[in-house]
Amino acid sequence: MIAEQIIRELKSHGDDGYKKIMISHGVKEPFFGVKIEYLKKIQKRIKKDHQLALDLYDTGISDAMYLAGLIADDAKMSKRDLQRWVEKAYCPLHSEYTVPWVAAESAYGHELALKWIESKKEGVAAAGWATLGGLTTIKDDADLDLAELKQLLGRVEKTIHQQPNRVKYVMNGFVIAVGSYVKPFTDLAVKTSERIGEVKVDMGGTACKVPYAPDYIQKVRQRGRIGVKRKSARC
């Protein structure tokens, strides 16, 4: 019943103007157009609720699926739960944010990410690279497999321009994450991204641009934030 109550609450806070903006960014029906700031108010109220997160995600309503990611209890998410979530993700909002956030904070993020990046499905592969990037933001460098990260950077350099649209975007984000959060690899990530050059992604007619990784990492360096880890992959 509580999931139904949340859905009614979400419906009452839908915003048609915001909905149009989200549609231009690739969000698909069904959804109400609830602003993220309101979803975070619900998150603050509920905190974590494993079953409710599963129920909300299963509705297939985009706003509810995003909220599910915010309130998911990563410690209780099973491998099966995460696999089901990535397969049900039907737009970048879920496959590049909601699912990777929860996966990275779970016990299965690394394992599943390596599996997902081999997928022929664009959304699943994108979720895999986003999860790998997320892991670099929250795990101490000592807990990361640096040899593997170096190998993955090389893989991105060789293959990024041949990848599907959203996979290219998230691979670029992975290079930025490594350069920004893994201090021993900042220079390597910059050199890798310089060799990659401009990454062209169809952003669906929006004003959004693909970050140029060398410049982005340099800005992080100028702020003195290289290697400063985050408390959570979710934001």
CA torsion, points 144, 148, 149, 154, in degrees to nearest 10? 180
Residue 207: pLDDT band (50, 70, 90) is confident
Residue 204: pLDDT band (50, 70, 90) is confident
Q: Give the closest residue to 92 by CA, choosing from 135, 137, 62.
A: 62
Contact 170, 126 (CB under 8 A): yes
Contact 112, 103 (CB under 8 A): yes
Q: Give the closest residue to 2 by CA, choosing from 42, 44, 38, 29.
A: 42
pLDDT digits (tens, 9 = 90+) for 24-72: 988 999 999 999 999 999 999 999 999 999 999 999 999 999 999 999 9
Quick count: other Cβ atoms within 10 Å of Cβ 132? 27
What's the whole-model pTM score?
0.96
pLDDT digits (tens, 9 = 90+) for 97-148: 999 999 999 999 999 999 999 999 999 999 999 999 999 999 999 999 999 9
Q: Is the pLDDT of residue 15 over 70?
A: yes
